[in-house]
Amino acid sequence: MSTKSSSIHGRNEVKMEGEKRKDVESESTHVTLNVKGQNDEGVKVFRVRRKAKLLKLMELYAKMRGVEWNTFRFLSDDGSRIREYHTADELELKDGDQIDALLPQQSGFWSFYSI
């Protein structure tokens, strides 16, 4: 593997041939996620580490709502369920992505039939 060095406006820039150069800005260690509930409570914004388990986000959101974290079902933009052991990197979440926090449906239909 060879390297080429060039000077642009007084800065030295080193390029590696055969490897992709990663943008430092896009490789942030944190991601900002929006969590939206079912009610009109608005959107809560969380900044989490990309490699941290999303359990921390779930616990904090549930604490803000006054319930246990496993009361909610957390879903990503595409509708897939987010589990407590997932990370933002595993789910390929980007800044500004929305997570839906849904309560399970507690009602059902039943009626009385007279015979």
Domains of the chain in sequence order: 30-102 (3.10.20.90)
pLDDT exceeds cutoff 50 at 88: yes
pLDDT exceeds cutoff 50 at 49: yes
Confidence at residue 114, expressed as pLDDT on a 0 to 100 scale:
56
pLDDT exceeds cutoff 90 at 54: yes
**Rounded average pLDDT over 69-84:** 92
Could you give the CA distance from residue 107 to residue 115 in angstroms, rounded to a whole number?
25
Phi and psi, residue 27, nearest 5°: -100, 50
The overall pTM is greater than 0.75? no
Residue pair 44/57 in contact (Cβ under 8 Å)? The answer is no
